[in-house]
């Protein structure tokens, strides 16, 4: 007798799932971005008791539609501007099905020859997209935080665990990685008027530590900060790092792929000088969450940090490229087939179409900045950086707490369900923050966002 797993018909459930997914994409503009609820209410709707017997797939799909989709925050919505969120793309949905069907554990070449070669190939494409050396080494990881951790681990292996230099604008995962790896102390370098790392201040901080008998190890620069979209002066910082024999890491998890857009390409001059780079195809290539990447100029440094062996993973009977193991260059042994959605996306639409989408995202953010500048009672707190805009509500004559006022505006906006912003601080001031990272977003969406913000502000 067949068991319940063997009786599952992929054609039947796959057809139903694809129809649901297609309808979901079609309905995005009509959906509320969020629907207020509570943790207790969601737990109750999910029916927490352990099922003793199975149910029909149609019942599961009803729960997906009525609970999961209804009470989720819709990152794919064209007016979701919170954080740096992946909007998802149709071809990647198909890729996820295929990858799950094959279920290849991409530990090395022997466990998935085509998957391994596809990862090498797509990592090569990523290097070309951002202008990184073709002979550099890289691998796909779960996201920017893991990429930053991997890069700092490689740096620690060859530069030691001395002071690390970064800024307040750099992603918090840099400081977290340094702490986990026992590197530091972490020095916060001053920024210039544009919130970019100041190379002169960096030089002074390094000199101060050397005079104190310390051995500085790493500079972590930003190739697009999550808070304001700022790109540090990478070429100048690279010269300082080389002069003092420090490892230079460029955190481009959000911003590096903007180098594909002609208008932003000059900002990334110097990224090729970095010893390591993090980037996230699941951000500006619109792929599912879990598709990050770390690049190393020197693969030997990564190998020094991660290479290990045990009898149960020893490669037998293979040499050269066929003996390659990803576990020698990153922290994971078990690894999903991350390259497949990336390969299918780039092959299906081409690099030019992706670059055009990124360029349009940049233009939409600049357009919103122009709208804010022309609107009474709204003000930009810093120039638009890449596709990030930071502003606040500042009604004329208001003498109260602007930070508290704007927190209330943000909550009212989020609860409205029409547009979604997140928050940050710019030079200590609370900011309404948005990031355009969706190929579905149009200029009209930016206008609706402005209307929604004004409505939320004036309703208080």
- What is the pLDDT averaged over residues 15-33? 96
Distances from the Cα of 350 to the Cα of 99, 129, 293, angstroms: 21, 12, 19
Residue 101 and residue 71 in one domain: no
Q: Please name which of 92, 190, 79 lies closest in space to residue 440, comparing C-alpha atoms.
A: 79
Q: Could you give the number of structural domains in the chain?
A: 2
Which pLDDT score, from 0 to 100, does residue 393 have?
A: 98
Token digits for 25?
Answer: 């994409």
Residue 66 and residue 105 in one domain: no
Residue 123 and residue 71 in one domain: no
Residue 114 and residue 35 in one domain: no
Residue 125 and residue 60 in one domain: no
Q: What is the rounded average pLDDT for all residues in the chain?
A: 96
348 pLDDT band, cuts 50/70/90, is very high
> Greater confidence, 7 or 265?
265
CA atoms within 13 A on the CB side of 1: 2
Token digits for 135?
Answer: 């002979």
- Tell me which of 42, 75, 108 is where a domain ends: 75
- Tell me which of 23, 42, 75 is where a domain ends: 75
Structural domain boundaries, residue 22: 8-75
Residue 411 scores a pLDDT above 80: yes
Token digits for 147?
Answer: 């990429």
- What is the pLDDT averaged over residues 428-442? 98
- Tell me which of 332, 351, 370 is where a domain ends: 351
399 pLDDT band, cuts 50/70/90, is very high
Token digits for 387?
Answer: 């596709």
Residue 212 and residue 345 in one domain: yes
Residue 324 CB: number of other CB atoms within 10 A? Answer: 16
384 lies in some domain: no
176 lies in some domain: yes
Q: Where are the beta strands (DSSP E) in 115-157?
A: 137-141
325 lies in some domain: yes
Which pLDDT score, from 0 to 100, does residue 48 have?
A: 86
Residue 336 and residue 209 in one domain: yes
pLDDT digits (tens, 9 = 90+) for 221-239: 999 999 999 999 999 999 9
401 lies in some domain: no
- What is the pLDDT averaged over residues 99-104? 97
Structure-derived torsion over alpha carbons of residues 232, 236, 237, 241, reported in degrees to the nearest 10: 170
Residue 40 and residue 106 in one domain: no
- What is the pLDDT averaged over residues 450-460? 96
264 lies in some domain: yes
286 lies in some domain: yes
- What is the pLDDT averaged over residues 126-152? 98
Distances from the Cα of 15 to the Cα of 8, 20, 22, 67, 92, angstroms: 13, 9, 11, 21, 16
Three-state secondary structure string covering 114-135: HHHHHHHHHHHHHHHHHCCCCC
Task: Check which CATH number belongs to the domain holding 229 and give it.
Answer: 3.40.640.10
Residue 1 scores a pLDDT above 50: no
Residue 63 scores a pLDDT above 60: yes
Which pLDDT score, from 0 to 100, does residue 2 have?
A: 61
Residue 68 and residue 103 in one domain: no
Rounded to an integer, what distance in angstroms lies between the CA atom of residue 60 and that of residue 277? 41
6 pLDDT band, cuts 50/70/90, is confident
26 lies in some domain: yes
Please give the backbone phi and psi of residue 445, each rounded to the nearest 5 degrees, phi first: -65, -35
Task: Check which CATH number belongs to the domain holding 70 and give it.
Answer: 1.20.1340
Residue 104 and residue 70 in one domain: no
400 lies in some domain: no
């Amino acid at each position: 007798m067949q068991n319940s797993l063997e009786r599952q018909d992929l054609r039947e459930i796959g057809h139903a799932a694809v129809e649901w997914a297609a309808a979901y994409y079609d309905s995005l503009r009509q959906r509320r971005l969020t629907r207020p609820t509570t943790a207790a209410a969601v737990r109750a709707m999910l029916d927490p008791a352990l099922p003793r017997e199975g149910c029909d797939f149609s019942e599961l799909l009803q729960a997906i539609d009525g609970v999961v989709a209804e009470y989720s925050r819709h990152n794919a919505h064209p007016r979701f501007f919170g954080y740096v969120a992946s909007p998802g793309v149709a071809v990647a949905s198909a890729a996820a099905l295929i990858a799950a069907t094959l279920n290849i554990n991409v530990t090395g070449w022997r466990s998935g020859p085509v998957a391994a070669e596809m990862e090498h190939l797509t990592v090569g494409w990523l290097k070309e997209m951002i202008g990184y050396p073709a002979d550099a080494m890289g691998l796909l990881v779960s996201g920017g935080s893991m990429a930053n951790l991997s890069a700092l681990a490689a740096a620690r292996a060859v530069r030691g665990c001395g002071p690390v230099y970064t800024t307040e604008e750099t992603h918090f995962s840099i400081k977290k990685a340094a702490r986990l790896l026992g590197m530091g102390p972490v020095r916060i370098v001053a920024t210039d008027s544009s919130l970019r790392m100041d190379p002169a201040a960096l030089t002074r901080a390094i000199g101060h530590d050397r005079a104190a008998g310390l051995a500085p190890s790493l500079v972590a620069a930003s190739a697009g900060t999550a808070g304001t979209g700022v790109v540090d002066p990478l070429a100048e910082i690279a010269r300082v790092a080389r002069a003092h024999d420090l490892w230079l890491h460029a955190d481009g998890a959000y911003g590096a792929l903007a180098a594909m857009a002609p208008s932003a390409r000059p900002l990334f001059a110097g990224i090729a000088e970095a010893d390591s780079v993090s980037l996230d195809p699941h951000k500006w290539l619109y792929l599912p969450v879990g598709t990050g990447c770390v690049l190393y100029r020197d693969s030997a440094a990564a190998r020094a940090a991660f290479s290990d062996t045990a009898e149960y993973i020893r490669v037998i009977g293979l040499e050269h490229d066929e003996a390659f193991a990803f576990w020698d260059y990153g922290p994971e042994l078990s690894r999903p087939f991350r390259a497949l959605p990336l390969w299918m996306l780039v092959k299906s639409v081409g690099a030019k179409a992706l670059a055009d989408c990124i360029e349009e995202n940049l233009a939409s953010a600049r357009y919103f900045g122009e709208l804010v500048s022309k609107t009474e009672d709204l003000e930009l707190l810093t120039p638009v950086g890449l596709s990030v805009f930071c502003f606040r509500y500042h009604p004329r004559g208001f003498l109260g707490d602007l930070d508290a006022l704007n927190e209330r505006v943000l909550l009212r906006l989020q609860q409205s369900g029409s547009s979604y912003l997140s928050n940050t601080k710019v030079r200590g001031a609370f900011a309404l923050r948005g990031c355009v990272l969706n190929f579905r977003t149009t200029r009209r969406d930016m206008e609706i966002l402005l209307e929604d913000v004004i409505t939320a502000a004036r309703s208080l």
